[in-house]
Amino acid sequence: MPNRYRMAFVVVIISLLFFTVGVRLFFIQVWNHEELKNKVERMVFRERSELSSRGGIYDRSGKILAMTVKNFALFLDPRMITDIARTRSELAKAGIEIEVSDKKIAEETGAYLPAAKDLNYEQAEKAKGFSVRGVGFIPGVKRCYPEGKLACHVLGVVGREGRGLEGIEYYCNSFLAGKNVKGVSYRDGKGREISEKIIDPGSSKGSDVFLTIDRNIQFITEQEIEKAWKESGAKRAIAIVQDPNTGEILALACRPNFNPGDFSDSGEFLKNPAVTDIFEPGSTFKLVTMAAALEENAVNLKENIWCENGKYQVYRHVIKDHEKKGFLNASQIMEYSSNIGAAKIGQRLGKEKMYQYVRQFGFASRTGIDLPGETPGILRPPERWSGLSLPVISFGQEVGVTALQMINAYSAVINGGMLLEPKIVRQIKNPSNLKAWTNEKREVRRIISPETAETLKKMLVNVVENGTGQAAQVQGYSIGGKTGTAQKRDPATGKYSSSKYVASFCGALPISDPQLTIFVMLDEPLGDYWASSRAAPVFSRIAGRTASYLRIAPDKKNVTLCNAGQRKE
């Protein structure tokens, strides 16, 4: 074959080879580009979901009350385990106990068998260092409450799916909940992880919520209400501390309580009775009646009202006082807690005015507190009142209130007559520590004049110094407050029970410059059920310890404390 033909043949062959390679490259780089790219990414990249981190809940000074921590769940691949006993032994060195039986492991045919949960980072890392075959870990997150049961009814709980179910966890869920983001890691030809794309932690973290609650005042309140609840044998107990000048809730404690980190057996105790449960307030409600009467000039401070020596018949019903009294002035009616005196004052007002002031004080309406489940209470319109309704509402029957409504109404009188919206969330900060929302003080309306408020405060001081509230006194401080011992209705008969009572006290200190309003309630205390000896002393202990903690200056000297129960109410 001539050389020129041989050369031409070689050129053709080489050209065909280049053409074939070119066509192949075209199909690889252009025609099948997306498919091959996806195959490479599946081999080189590993995409995983980065679990969101729920924002924290803090008290007013920044002490952590609820937080999210990382945890791990352990699973086994039974197909890879040859020695179950050795696997158990190795994991035990890391403090991990396999929660499934050897028989279950031996019989399992799948590649995934859950074996332990709620493991911390140290346990997981230590176990990984042992290189035990057939053992894997799945990262997760867990909600933790460093203070245990403290403020549990305020904080609430979080469900398994990471959503708030009660309390602040529920109310602020949209702020607290973070967002799940995807992370990417890179692997070499042997599948080993060689680098990881860094994820901004802020992209998956929720906002932080700061409460008006003071952790130390909450602790004091929890201690005292726990003691009172156990000593009295009460069905339930509630204590609230509020700043009357801002509406901020400084402490809120209820019994029975629960562990927010493990609430599986808590059931009905999860709800916050301070905002959900309704009760008839009894004599603490006389403050509303007296406020309305003073504001409407329906009572003269110098006049005496005949209190019927303890029995007053109205529409075939006898209203009784626990102490038989004749003539009493307005201040004495509060001091001795006369139902008859309050009833007669209410009758002077008339049902329309009485209804107006009860609503004006915030009853039969939600307060607007930033907690879920708040109920407005019960108050029938005047056209549905019986002839007996007006006199008995005047001393706290036939009206249903919540503990929060009660303390908020007292705070309005204590601060000079302005009803404020109570609040328990102070501010919310986003992951960049910037304020996303601040809860400002909100004035709802003026309910009474400053002059009427001053008169009422003097009456409340007389109750504590000379009347039914003497056990509420705190050495060195002027205290004003009111007791309430209310009979409960028997649901079976519809009549008032002779054995079941609600004992409550609401008061403030120091009256010269009020800093604290405190409400205490014991539901169905056993034996001694009087508010004067059950609720008032609890107020005294919470008030005294809190005033000391806040360094509130004493405003009174030479106070002689009286024995609890000197006068019943």
Does 375 fall in a domain? yes
Does 58 fall in a domain? no
- CATH number for the domain harbouring residue 469: 3.40.710.10
Does 89 fall in a domain? no
Give the model's pLDDT for residue 195: 45
Tens of pLDDT, residue by residue, the chain (569 residues): 566 666 766 667 777 777 776 667 666 666 666 666 666 555 555 555 555 689 999 999 999 999 998 888 888 888 888 788 888 887 888 888 888 887 887 777 777 888 788 888 888 888 777 777 878 888 888 899 999 999 999 999 998 888 999 999 999 999 999 775 555 554 555 444 444 444 444 456 899 999 999 999 999 999 999 999 999 999 999 999 999 999 999 999 999 999 998 877 777 789 999 999 999 999 999 999 999 999 999 999 999 999 999 999 998 899 999 999 999 999 999 999 999 999 999 999 999 999 999 999 999 999 999 999 999 999 999 999 999 999 999 999 999 999 999 999 999 999 999 999 999 999 999 887 777 788 999 999 999 999 999 999 999 999 999 999 999 999 999 999 999 999 999 888 888 988 999 999 999 999 999 999 999 999 999 999 999 999 999 999 999 999 999 999 999 875 444 544 456 77
Name the domain count of the chain: 1
pTM of the model as a whole: 0.84
Does 348 fall in a domain? yes
Give the model's pLDDT for residue 565: 47
Domain that holds residue 344: 215-423+439-550
Give the integer Cα–Cα distance in Å for 224 and 227. 5
Does 307 fall in a domain? yes
Q: How many residues does the chain have?
A: 569
Nearest by Cα to 216 from 168, 290, 122, 150: 150
Q: Which helix (H) or strand (E) holds 325?
A: none
Does 63 fall in a domain? no
Does 94 fall in a domain? no
Does 135 fall in a domain? no
* Whether the Cβ atoms of residue 211 and residue 425 lie closer than 8 Å to each other: yes
Q: Provide CB contacts within 8 A for 78, sequence distance 6+.
A: 105, 106, 108, 109, 110, 111, 113, 134
